[in-house]
Structure 1
Amino acid sequence: MENCAVCNKNAPFKCTACKSVNYCSVDHQKKDWPKHKINCRPFKIATSDELGRYLICTRDIPAKSVIFIEQPLVIGPKWECTESPDFPCVGCFKPTPINGNKCPNCLWPVCQTNCIGLKDPQMHGVECFILCMRRNTNQTFKYRSEVLLTLRCLLLQWKYPDRWEKVMMLESHDQQRLGTRYYKEADERIVSYLMENFWSEIDNIEKELGKKIVEKRDKKMLHRICGIMEVNALNIALGHENDEEVSALFENACILEHSCLPNCFYTFDTKKNFKITMRAGRTIKKGEHLSIMYTHMLWGTHMRNEHLQTNKYFVCKCDRCIDSTELGTNFSAMKCIGDIGKTCGGVLLPKDPIDLNSEWFCDRCDVSIPNQQIEIILTNIEQEVDDLMMPSVSRKNQALIGPQDFETLIEKLSHLLDENHFHMFALRHSLIQMYGHKENYMHHELSDEILEKKITMCEQLLNILDKIDPNTMRLTLYTGIVLFELHLAILEQNRRQITKGIESNKNILLLAQNYLHRGKEALLLNQDIIQGRQLIKSFERAENGLQSILNA
C-alpha cells in the first residue's frame, strides 16, 4: 500500500480522478487538492512548431466526461465590428436602446442605471473610469461596443496582471494579419477609436499620479490584442430571443486545436460568470490531441478552409478535409457536366481538397474544370440559396415563401449539385420543416407521396449528419430537428394506416419513441441557448403523448 501524499501514513484509497495519488482520508485529499489539481488534470500543455501550444490527453477520458471547467480571462461584447440598432448593456450585455438609460458615471448605454454589472470589477467596473473621460466633452461621440473587449483586455495588466500574462501567451499572428482587411478594419474601428478618444486623457491621469496605470498601450499592442481576439475568442450565446452573443478568452479552451472531426465539445453557463465546461464528445485515448471545431460543420471543405486560412491562418488536414468525398458524403461534390451535352452520371471533386486552387475532376470520365470556374458557379448558386432562405427586404417576404419555392430551387440545382451537397442539405433541412407546418401543408394535408418524400429526405439528412458529426457534438439542433420531423412523419403514416382499417404498427411507434429519445439526449447539450430549450420542451411533450398511446 502506498503512503498518503499529505501525512505519509498508509493510504487506503487513491485520488478519485487520476487514480495515481494515494490518501489516508477525504480530508487529506481536500487539503492536497490545490497542489495536486494541475497534475490531476487528464491533459497537459504541449508545444510544437506547427501547432504552437496545444492540449494532449494524459489518460483515457470516457465519453461525455468533464475535462475541465474554467472562468474567462476576459469577457465583453463581441469584438467583431457590428452595426445594430440595439447596444449591449455595458454591465450585463442585455440589448438596450442606444438612447435609453445611461451609466451614471460614464454615460454609456445600460439596461438600467442600477445594473449589477456596472460595479463588477470584471465587467464594466474595470473600464468605467476610462470611459468617464469623454463625459464632459462637447464633441459628438459615437459609442462602439466592439472596443470594450479590447479595452478590458488592455486593462488586465493593471487590474489582473496574472490574467494579462495568460492572454499574452495566446497566438495573435501579428505578421500574417498585416495588410488584411481584418487588420485595416480593426485599425479603423478599434485601434484608432481608442487612441483618438482616450489616449491623451490616460496620459494626463498618469502624469497626475506620477506612475503608469497601463504600461503597455501603444498601437502595436492594441493590434496584438485584436489579433488575439480574432484568432482565439469564443462567442457565447446569451440565450435571448435575438441570438445576442458576447466574446471571451479562456486559458485552456482557447488552445485546443481545430479539427472538422473534433473529439471535444463545450457549453457555457451564462448564469455563473460565463464559465466554460469542456467535455469529451467520445472516448479519447491517452496521447490524442484535444480538439474542437473553429468553423461551421455544415460548410463544404473549400469554405471551411477558406475561413480557417483567412481568420485563423492555417489549413486543416483532418480526415474529412483530406478526403475529397468528405467521408463518403459528397458534401461538396458537383455533378459532371459531361462533354458536349453528354453526361456520364459522375461527380466532380477537387483533386486536392485542401488546395483552394485545385482543379476539379470527374470520378467517371475525363472531364476536368478549373477551380475558378467552379467558384463562379457556386457563387451564383449561393446567392440563389441565400435569396430564398434569407429574404432581405422584409419578414413579410419570408411569410410568402413556401414549400413550392424550395422544391423548384432543389429541382433546378439537382442538375448541377450532388444530392448531398451542402446547399442541397440546407434547402432540404428547411423543406422538411415546412412540410407539416406551413399553411396548406399541414401533416394531415400532405399527399401520401409528399409524406413519403419527407421521410426519405429526413433519412438522407440523418445519414449525412451521422457521418460528419458521428457523436452529435456540433450539430445537435440540426439533428434534433430532423429526428423530430421524422417522428412526426412516420406517426402520420401510421395514423393513415389506422384510418384504412389496418391495425396500428407498434414497431413504428417504438421507432418514433427512439427518435424522440435520441433527439432529446442530444439537445441536452444545448440547454444554454433558447432554441435548444424550446426544442427540448417539444420533445418532452411528444414523448408524453406517445407514451400514453403505447400504454393504452
Structure 2
Amino acid sequence: MGRYLVANRNLNAGENIIQESPVAIGPAANSEAVCLGCYIPVKLSLSQYRCSDCKWPLCSADCRGIGHVNGHTEYECKFLKEKNSAVDLIATATLTKIKHLYELILPIRILLMKTHKPDSYERIRVMESHIKLRKLNKILWDHYQEIIVNKLLKEWNLEGFSEEDIHTICGVIDVNCFEIGQKSAKARAMFPSAFLLSHDCVPNTSHTDHPETFSIMLRTSKRIKKNEPITLSYAYTLQGTFKRRDFMHAGKLFWCQCERCSDPTELKTDCSALVCAECSKGSVRSIDPLDQDADWKCDNCAYKLGAKSLESLLDKLNNELESIDPHNVAGLEGFLKKYQNTLRPNHYLFLSAKYSLCQVYGRIDGYLIHEMSLEDIKRKEKYCRDFLTVIDVLEPGLTRLRGLIMYELHAPIMVLSTRLIQNKLITRNDFQRNIKEVARLLRESRDILKMEPEGSNEYMMGQAAEDALKGMGMV
C-alpha cells in the first residue's frame, strides 16, 4: 500500500480530521477554457477579458485569483508572457489544442515553485510519482512527452529541468491530485497531507472543498476504530468494478483489490450485473473481478461474455447515456426502458440515469412536485429508494450523496401521503408513519449537508431541510 494514514484513536462519524489549503492548484484535467484565477469557464472571443500582460483569458479585472497564491501569480504571468503562450488561445482553436494548453498550467506552476516557493516545491517532490511504472506504460509516457515535456523544453525552452524532472511532476499530479470545485469552477489541486490517505472503494471518509479558498475539508463518514486505515475513494463510487479498476490503473497505476472489487456482486449491490442475453433469467457477472481479462458468466445457464465484448457494450451504453441531456426526462426514461432487458436494475449506468431523474422530477417545468401525476411521484420515490439502497452500502454513513438523495426522497413521500390522506386512501396511522419517515430523512439530510461549506449548494439544501422541519414543527 505504500504510505497511508491510520487512526490513533477511535474516531466517531462526522469528525473533521484534515482541513488545509492547496499547496498547488490548476485547471482540471481535460479542461476547456477557464479563468486562471478562479477556474470558472471563459470564452475565447475578442470580447473576453484577458490579462493585460500574458493575454490569457480571465473572468474579469476584479477576479479574486489575480495575484493570489491559488490563482494567476505575477511570476506565472511573466513566464506565460515570455513564451507568448496565449498565441493559440483563439476562438478558432481546436478543443484538443485548448485542453492541451490548459493541461500545462499545473505542471508549470509546480516547476516555477522551485525558484519562487522552494519549500512548497519540496513538499510536492516527496509525493509518489510511480515514475518507474510510468516508463513501462508507453501510451501514458508518450502522451506526456508530447504535450508537456516537448512543449516546455523544446518549444518554450524551459531551463533548469530535465525530461525526467518534468515526467516526475506529471506523475505526482496524476497520482496525488484531487478534483475540486463548487458550482461552475472546476480545478485540480495538491494538498500537503490529504494525499496520504489510501484508497478503498467503500471509503470511511468524505471530503469537500471551500468554493472560494479551495481548501479541503476531510471528515469521517462512519466510525473508524483505532489503528484502522483512514481511506477515501480515488474513483467515482457509483461505477462498476471493471471500469472503476481500469480508471484507477490508468491514472494511479495500481489494480485495486479491496473487498468490493474482489466480490463479483459488489457487496450484493449488483451494480455491474447484466441480464443474461441467452436465458433472460440469470445475472451475468465476472468469474474473477480481479482479472480484467476474465470472462463474464451467467449464474443460471452456460452463457459467457468475453471481457472485450463487455467493455464494448459498456462504452456504447455509456456514450448513449452521456448524449442525453440530464434534464431530458423522456430521454432518461427511454434509456431505462430500452435497456431493462440488458442491465440489472442496480447497474451503475441505470443508477446514473435514476440519479438524474431523482433531481429533475419535481424541479423543472412540466414536472414541478405539486403538479406531478401520482405515477410520476411514485416513480421519483422508487428511484430515490433504489439509489439510497445502493448508497447505503457503497457510501455509508455521513456522506454527501446520501444527504442529497434523502432530501430528494422526502418530497415525494410527503406529497403522495398528503394526497392519499385527503382522498381517504390511507389511514391516519399510515399517514403519521409516513410523516415520521419524512422527518427522519430531513433530519439526517440536514445533519449531513450542513457540514458542507456555507454558500455551497449542499449547505443550502441542508438549510432547506432544517426549514422544512421547522415548518412541520419537528426540529
275-284 or 148-157: bigger deviation: 275-284
* 1:409 counterpart residue number: 335
* 200, 205, 217: which one aligns with 1:264: 205
Using the TM superposition, give the Cα deviation of residue 536 of structure 1 relative to its aligned residue in structure 2, in angstroms: 3.0
* 1:188 counterpart residue number: 146
Residues 222 and 398 of structure 2 are in contact (CA less than 8 Å); yes or no, is this contact kept in structure 1?
Answer: no
- Does the residue aligned with 1:348 lie in a helix, a strand or coil? strand
* 98, 109, 120: which one aligns with 1:152: 109
Is residue 176 of structure 2 the alignment partner of residue 232 of structure 1? yes
* 441, 446, 449: which one aligns with 1:520: 446
* 315, 322, 346: which one aligns with 1:386: 322
Using the TM superposition, give the Cα deviation of residue 446 of structure 1 relative to its aligned residue in structure 2, in angstroms: 4.5
Instruction: Give the counterpart letter for 2:149 in structure 1.
Output: V
* 463, 481, 495: which one aligns with 2:418: 495
- Once the two structures are superposed, residues 157-199 of structure 1 have per-residue CA deviations (whole angstroms, 9 ceiling, x without a partner) of 2222222222111111223334544433333333233224542
Is residue 56 of structure 2 the alignment partner of residue 56 of structure 1? no
* 1:76 counterpart residue number: 26
- Cα 1:412–1:77 shift into 2, 3 Å: closer
Q: Distance in 2 between matches of 1:104 and 1:406?
A: 45
* 2:233 counterpart residue number: 293
Residues 273 and 283 of structure 2 are in contact (CA less than 8 Å); yes or no, is this contact kept in structure 1?
Answer: yes
439-448 or 226-235: bigger deviation: 439-448
Q: Distance in 1 between matches of 2:372 and 2:20?
A: 50
Using the TM superposition, give the Cα deviation of residue 510 of structure 1 relative to its aligned residue in structure 2, in angstroms: 2.1
- Once the two structures are superposed, residues 247-271 of structure 1 have per-residue CA deviations (whole angstroms, 9 ceiling, x without a partner) of 2212221121111111222232344
* 1:486 counterpart residue number: 409
* 2:94 counterpart residue number: none
* 1:360 counterpart residue number: 296
Q: Distance in 2 between matches of 1:382 and 1:165?
A: 41
191-200 or 360-369: bigger deviation: 191-200
Match runs of 1:68-467 below 5 Å: 68-78=18-28, 80-84=29-33, 87-89=34-36, 91-98=37-44, 99=46, 100-113=48-61, 115=63, 117-120=65-68, 123=71, 124-134=73-83, 140-142=87-89, 144-178=101-135, 179-199=137-157, 216-237=160-181, 239-240=182-183, 242=184, 244-272=185-213, 274-338=214-278, 342-343=279-280, 345-389=281-325, 401-403=328-330, 405-444=331-370, 446-467=372-393
Q: Distance in 1 between matches of 2:435 and 2:107?
A: 54
Q: Distance in 1 between matches of 2:57 and 2:382?
A: 51
- Cα 1:299–1:129 shift into 2, 3 Å: same
Q: How many residue pairs get matched?
A: 458
- Does the residue aligned with 2:297 lie in a helix, a strand or coil? strand
Residues 276 and 283 of structure 2 are in contact (CA less than 8 Å); yes or no, is this contact kept in structure 1?
Answer: yes
Instruction: Give the counterpart letter for 1:229 in structure 2.
Output: I
63-72 or 497-506: bigger deviation: 497-506
Q: Percent identity?
A: 28
- Once the two structures are superposed, residues 349-370 of structure 1 have per-residue CA deviations (whole angstroms, 9 ceiling, x without a partner) of 1111121111112223333332
Instruction: Give the counterpart letter for 2:31 in structure 1.
Output: T
Q: Distance in 1 between matches of 2:3 and 2:472?
A: 50
Residues 130 and 198 of structure 1 are in contact (CA less than 8 Å); yes or no, is this contact kept in structure 2?
Answer: no
Match runs of 1:524-543 below 5 Å: 524-527=450-453, 530-543=456-469
Using the TM superposition, give the Cα deviation of residue 126 of structure 1 relative to its aligned residue in structure 2, in angstroms: 3.6
By relative contact order (CA 8 Å, sep 6+), the higher-ranking structure is: 2
Using the TM superposition, give the Cα deviation of residue 141 of structure 1 relative to its aligned residue in structure 2, in angstroms: 5.0
Q: Distance in 1 between matches of 2:41 and 2:312?
A: 39
- Cα 1:366–1:219 shift into 2, 3 Å: same
TM-score (norm 1): 0.75
Instruction: Give the counterpart letter for 2:82 in structure 1.
Output: M
Residues 267 and 528 of structure 1 are in contact (CA less than 8 Å); yes or no, is this contact kept in structure 2?
Answer: no
Residues 265 and 292 of structure 1 are in contact (CA less than 8 Å); yes or no, is this contact kept in structure 2?
Answer: yes
- Does the residue aligned with 1:295 lie in a helix, a strand or coil? coil
* 1:20 counterpart residue number: none
- Cα 1:265–1:438 shift into 2, 3 Å: closer
Residues 176 and 313 of structure 1 are in contact (CA less than 8 Å); yes or no, is this contact kept in structure 2?
Answer: yes
Residues 81 and 189 of structure 1 are in contact (CA less than 8 Å); yes or no, is this contact kept in structure 2?
Answer: no
Q: Distance in 2 between matches of 1:230 and 1:223?
A: 11
Q: Distance in 2 between matches of 1:235 and 1:128?
A: 24
Residues 105 and 128 of structure 1 are in contact (CA less than 8 Å); yes or no, is this contact kept in structure 2?
Answer: yes
167-176 or 116-125: bigger deviation: 116-125
- Cα 1:222–1:544 shift into 2, 3 Å: same
- Cα 1:434–1:60 shift into 2, 3 Å: closer
- Does the residue aligned with 1:515 lie in a helix, a strand or coil? helix
Q: Distance in 2 between matches of 1:162 and 1:347?
A: 54
- Once the two structures are superposed, residues 264-309 of structure 1 have per-residue CA deviations (whole angstroms, 9 ceiling, x without a partner) of 222323444x332332222222222221110000100111001011
Residues 276 and 284 of structure 2 are in contact (CA less than 8 Å); yes or no, is this contact kept in structure 1?
Answer: yes
Instruction: Give the counterpart letter for 1:327 in structure 2.
Output: L
Q: Distance in 2 between matches of 1:277 and 1:88?
A: 24
- Does the residue aligned with 2:11 lie in a helix, a strand or coil? coil
- Cα 1:529–1:283 shift into 2, 3 Å: same
Instruction: Give the counterpart letter for 1:460 in structure 2.
Output: D
- Does the residue aligned with 2:288 lie in a helix, a strand or coil? coil
Instruction: Give the counterpart letter for 2:308 in structure 1.
Output: Q
Using the TM superposition, give the Cα deviation of residue 481 of structure 1 relative to its aligned residue in structure 2, in angstroms: 4.1
Using the TM superposition, give the Cα deviation of residue 534 of structure 1 relative to its aligned residue in structure 2, in angstroms: 4.4
* 1:15 counterpart residue number: none
* 1:509 counterpart residue number: 435
TM-score (norm 2): 0.86
- Does the residue aligned with 1:145 lie in a helix, a strand or coil? helix
Residues 362 and 372 of structure 2 are in contact (CA less than 8 Å); yes or no, is this contact kept in structure 1?
Answer: yes
Using the TM superposition, give the Cα deviation of residue 105 of structure 1 relative to its aligned residue in structure 2, in angstroms: 4.0
Structure 1 unaligned blocks of 5 or more: 1-50, 203-215, 391-397
- Does the residue aligned with 2:170 lie in a helix, a strand or coil? helix
